[in-house]
Amino acid sequence: MFTPKYPPADRAPAVTTPAPTAMPATPAPAPVVPAPVSNRPTIQLTPGSTLALVGGGTAVVLIVGTVLVSMLLAVAITGVSVAICAVVLRSLLNDSRNGR
């Protein structure tokens, strides 16, 4: 079940080559030269764009930090309220057992 299943191997028909004759050899194609690196678009940072990037990064960090701190506060407040409810319920149960 977990073993891979491979497709059957392709069966190419056997090709017979004719006897060599006196045919002229074809020249090899010319190699393809890649485009020079200087034609690629480059990113140029100006002082204004650098300031915008720093400001954007700072805003992202502040927003993410605010969200994380608020989530931590929500968990802490929930924990405190559950603890207070437990103390109140324990007090009520002890009072009912003692007959007060």
Considering the chain, what is the average pLDDT of its residues? Answer: 83
Q: Give the integer Cα–Cα distance in Å for 67 and 39.
A: 44
Q: Give the integer Cα–Cα distance in Å for 17 and 10.
A: 21
Q: Give the integer Cα–Cα distance in Å for 33 and 38.
A: 14
Question: What b/e readout covers 59-96, taking b as 16+ CB neighbours within 10 angstroms?
Answer: eeeeeeeeeeeeeeeeeeeeeeeeeeeeeeeeeeeeee
Q: What is the pLDDT of residue 42?
A: 74
pLDDT tens sequence across 26-41: 777 778 777 666 666 7
